[in-house]
A = this chain, B = another copy of it.
């Protein structure tokens, strides 16, 4: 895999944007590997992701800011620079259902996920076996209403001490407080077991079964302070029939959840996801 720099940019649309960015990279001897841009015509926004080879690039990432700032200011850009090298450090929160956790752990071990799961936190002890097998620190925090604030504080302490960049809620059935969420803006990814916005909140499979829908879904999104309302990163669905009882829905849904969550995490790690207006652009 090449060592690359990645720019995610969001600004008012205007002439010369592509030329200015491409010219800047070219002047510093950067070979563009991928460049994708998108206009949101309704909001008159220009959104782009540019990825270039860092070999031969004559600007160090420390000096990038100073060099790029004039362009960013001229076009009133919101921008973010990352590079493909470092593997983000991930904490996974989980409750009893372990299929998403097991899936993420396997994908990391197999090399598919370019990140490092450094911490597993659960309100139940059930998934400790997986943590032990993959030799990852496991912390069990039983939940009680009156200790929730304290628990979250302890959890945040662990995240800091492990240098966590990304929090993944892999079927974690607790609601995080606003205080917690604000510590990791756009860096907490959840999997919800329905095709949002249908069946947000509790027991989506039960409600899907009762409503008699013909497809069930799963949705991965960034967590915001409004439950199940954050920017959607990925969704998918699978067909069900009257032959499927509630247990079948849960089982079919589990396969969906694994795929949808792992795609969202992968894309986040690859810096493909740009958030604006409570939506995402996933540059593919």
Interface residues of A (CB under 8 A from B): 13-19, 21-23, 25-26, 29-42, 47, 98-99, 102, 106, 110, 112, 133, 195-199, 210-215, 217, 231-232, 234-237, 239, 241-243, 245-246, 251, 255, 259, 277-282, 284
In the bound complex, how far is the Cα of B232 from the Cα of A215, in angstroms?
11
A30: nearest chain-B partner, CB-CB: B15
Q: Are B18 and A35 in contact (CB under 8 A)?
A: yes
A281 proximity list for chain B (CB < 8 A): 242
Q: Are B34 and A37 in contact (CB under 8 A)?
A: yes
Can you list 14 A-B contacts with CB-CB less than 8 angstroms, sorted by A residue number?
A: A15-B26, A15-B29, A16-B26, A19-B22, A19-B26, A34-B37, A40-B242, A195-B237, A197-B198, A197-B211, A212-B279, A212-B280, A237-B237, A241-B284
Report copies per complex: 4
Q: Is the interface of A mostly helix, strand, loop or mixed?
A: mixed
Name the contact of A35 in the complex, choosing from B37, B210, B211 (C-beta under 8 A): B37
Q: Are B245 and A232 in contact (CB under 8 A)?
A: no
In the bound complex, how far is the Cα of B34 from the Cα of A47, in angstroms?
11
Q: Are B196 and A213 in contact (CB under 8 A)?
A: yes
**Given known A15-B31, A22-B23, contact A232–B251 (CB-CB < 8 A):** no
